Amino acid sequence: MSEWWKKAVVYQIYPRSFMDSNEDGIGDLRGIEGKLDYLKELGIDVIWLSPVYKSPGIDNGYDISDYRDIQDEFGSLRDMEQLISKIHEKGMKILMDLVVNHTSDQHPWFIESRSSKDNPKRDYYIWRDPNPDGSAPNNWESHFSGSAWQFDEKTGQYYLHIFAKEQPDLNWENPEVRKEVKDIARFWLEKGVDGFRMDVINFISKVPGLPSVPNAKGLVRGNMFYMNGPRVHEYLHELNEDVFSKYDIMTVGETPNVTPEIAHQYVDKERGELSMVFQFEHINTDIKGTRWQLKPWTISEFKKVISKWQKALGDSGWNSVYLSNHDQPRSVSRYGNDTKYLQESAKMLCTMDMTIRGTPYVYQGEELGMTNVRFDDIASYQDVESLGMYNDYKAKGIPEHDIMELIYYRGRDSARTPMQWDSSANAGFSKARPWLKLNPNYTWLNAAEEVKNPDSIFNFYKKMIAFRHEHSAIVDGDFKEYFEDHDRIFAYERTDANERLFILLNFSASEFTFIMPEELKVNSMRLAISNIGRKELGGNIIKIYPYESFVLVAEK
């Protein structure tokens, strides 16, 4: 199979917030169809859709009740087939989001499973007796707060849910469950989709006996007992053997808590599992354990993690490259500067994403420099994770102000405010009131403005994507880091048989003089990209501007 995905740039769409075509305030498939030319103009190769299957919407589609049909709000199966063929007609590809660690509690399998202890589907999920005192089988905490176990009156047992109680975990030890998953994957591949993003796929194998986390006070996450569990590679290899390997597709696994060593086990070609994974180390550089336990972010730690992964994967295995998605705060607000240096810092981050080794993912609105939002009160927030934390922390007596600050900094709704298409009412996203409030900055930060302004963040993304497509060293070249100890600059070289690229990124708002060592031979290189309109380097002693980035090229 060709490894076309190594050269591809992927764009993630969060369908609820992308474009509403029928005036109900919710984005939909026809809305997406109407914007394909926008994505084509940007230079995108692959579109990944967050889940659009039938779902009660407790976790915005990550709780699926029918894997073979489309949520009414998004359209019909017919609309989906049409979208797939329109995407292909325009020379792009499409990934679906396969959420199979858990289903919705409204999935017919779960409805049957909970109906009686001897129902044939009982063993599709993870049921356990209560402890003798009636308490939950172990001390695991759900990622969305509270116990990871829900007691079910009818049959007197608990079921496991690592996420919301409406998202019961599937029992992958059951071969019938694995067969169902393969059938679902085949169903979509036969409809022409070009691969899958696989939700928390490293959670599917639990340690037998489901032990409590030792020495813990109260509830804690049982990560060590289900992340990268004992049979996960067996299951993925089986899926690959029986299904994925029969199609020319790409697969990207969402895998929190992986090191490069673990990642190799998922993505090295000879393992026959996945094309690549989303690792979390670089985006967890501002937290201590869970999402809500913050620690100061430093450029030094961040670039150390990026370069560690750059060096570890590439010759064997493959990286995915991303700074934002629907679960993360907006990248420019987090790693750049979303006020004075919005333009410069968004373009600097883009320069990095498009020049390091791996497949880059652009999250909707990132190409415009969309920023985090601060709504005044909790009633304006929708995300099950933020609301779970809010209630939990309230009950613990944590002040309202502190909780809201956490949500502003780290909550998922900042990434989910509707796409800012233009400056008209509701940002051109919908004629009706959107399901989640807009970021008020849409009046000046929007696609219409940026598409026509040659110096916009959008047009910089377009230029960088084209640049990436034209330079083989970005895909295949080595990665070599320079000035590792510098606390503001991240600099590296990408080299293959044809060319040598030198990239410098200033991750800070400071301005300083920098001396380029002679051996870098920068004066013999051509300045190909600058995020501040620089025309030349002008020697070895350079004044570096806030959030400046540039790319130098030398042909061999």
Q: Are 304 and 298 in contact (CB under 8 A)?
A: no
Q: Which of residues 174-233 bind ligand ISL (CB under 6 A)?
A: 199-200
- Check 199, 273, 383, 385 and give the catalytic one: 199
* Residue 15 identity: P
Q: Which of ligand ISL, Ca ion, none has residue 286 at its interface (CB below 5 to 8 Å by kind)?
A: none
Select the residue interacting with ligand ISL from 45, 327, 353, 548 (CB under 6 A). Answer: 327
CA 334 to CA 327: how far, in whole Å?
13
Q: Are 330 and 372 in contact (CB under 8 A)?
A: yes
C-alpha 535: how far from its chain's center?
Answer: 35
Give per-residue burial for 390-423: e unless 16+ CB within 10 Å, then b.
bebbeeeeeeeeebbebbbbbbbbbbbbbbbbbe
Structure tokens given for 341: 């240096």
Cβ-based nearer residue to ligand ISL, 225 or 421: 225
Does 163 contact ligand ISL by CB under 6 A? yes
Q: Which of ligand ISL, Ca ion, none has residue 366 at its interface (CB below 5 to 8 Å by kind)?
A: none
Cβ-based nearer residue to ligand ISL, 29 or 415: 415
Query: Backbone dihedral region of 536: left (phi > 0), alpha (psi from -120 to 50 degrees) or beta?
Result: beta
Q: Which of Ca ion, ligand ISL, none has residue 24 at its interface (CB below 5 to 8 Å by kind)?
A: Ca ion
C-alpha 157: how far from its chain's center?
Answer: 35
Which residues are CB-neighbours of 190 under 8 A, at least 6 positions away?
none
Stretch near Ca ion under the rule CB under 5 A, chosen from 27-35, 109-117, 183-191, 352-360: 27-35
- Check 254, 286, 383, 548 and give the catalytic one: 254
Helix boundaries (H) for 360-446 = 384-395, 400-410
Query: What value, to the nearest 5°, has the Cα angle with vertex 82 and ends 80 and 86?
Result: 115
Stretch near Ca ion under the rule CB under 5 A, chosen from 20-28, 142-150, 152-160, 444-452: 20-28
Which residues are CB-neighbours of 519 under 8 A, at least 6 positions away?
none
Select the residue interacting with Ca ion from 6, 22, 312, 493 (CB under 5 A). Answer: 22
Cβ-based nearer residue to Ca ion, 20 or 254: 20
Least distance (Å) between residue 95 CB and ligand ISL: 14
Select the residue interacting with Ca ion from 24, 81, 152, 496 (CB under 5 A). Answer: 24
From residue 86 to residue 115, the character string flagging contacts with ligand ISL as x (rule: CB under 6 A) and all else as - is -------------x----------------
Question: Residue 496 burial by CB count (10 A; 0-12/13-18/19+): exposed, middle or buried?
Answer: middle
Least distance (Å) between residue 220 CB and Ca ion: 40
Count other Cβ atoms within 10 Å, centred on residue 190: 9
Structure tokens given for 252: 């990207």
Give per-residue burial for 11-22: e unless 16+ CB within 10 Å, then b.
bbbbbbbbbbbe
Least distance (Å) between residue 96 CB and ligand ISL: 14
What is the size of the binding site for ligand ISL (CB under 6 A)? 13
Does 59 contact ligand ISL by CB under 6 A? yes
CA 355 to CA 436: how far, in whole Å?
34
Structure tokens given for 5: 């995905």
Cβ-based nearer residue to ligand ISL, 172 or 341: 172
CA 396 to CA 292: how far, in whole Å?
14
Cβ-based nearer residue to Ca ion, 372 or 417: 417
Cβ-based nearer residue to ligand ISL, 145 or 459: 145
Select the residue interacting with Ca ion from 13, 26, 49, 406 (CB under 5 A). Answer: 26
From residue 87 to residue 126, the character string flagging contacts with Ca ion as x (rule: CB under 5 A) and all else as - is ----------------------------------------
Select the residue interacting with Ca ion from 10, 17, 20, 181 (CB under 5 A). Answer: 20
Stretch near Ca ion under the rule CB under 5 A, chosen from 16-24, 151-159, 268-276, 321-329: 16-24
- Tell me the chain's radius of gyration from C-alpha atoms: 24
Does 381 contact ligand ISL by CB under 6 A? no
Does 29 contact Ca ion by CB under 5 A? no
From residue 331 to residue 350, the character string flagging contacts with ligand ISL as x (rule: CB under 6 A) and all else as - is --------------------
Does 344 qualify as catalytic in the annotation?
A: no
CA 315 to CA 244: how far, in whole Å?
22
Select the residue interacting with ligand ISL from 128, 291, 431, 480 (CB under 6 A). Answer: 291
Q: Are 267 and 277 in contact (CB under 8 A)?
A: yes
Does 254 qualify as catalytic in the annotation?
A: yes
Does 62 contact ligand ISL by CB under 6 A? yes
Tell me whether strands 359-363 and 320-321 are parallel, antiparallel or unpaired. Answer: parallel
Q: Which of ligand ISL, Ca ion, none has residue 391 at its interface (CB below 5 to 8 Å by kind)?
A: none
CA 173 to CA 126: how far, in whole Å?
10
Least distance (Å) between residue 16 CB and Ca ion: 9
Q: Identify the CA nearest to 488 among candidates 346, 345, 372, 356.
A: 345
Question: Which active-site residues does the annotation give?
Answer: 199, 254
**Residues making contact with Ca ion (CB under 5 A):** 20, 22, 24, 26, 28
**Residues making contact with ligand ISL (CB under 6 A):** 59, 62, 99, 143, 163, 199-200, 254, 256, 290-291, 326-327
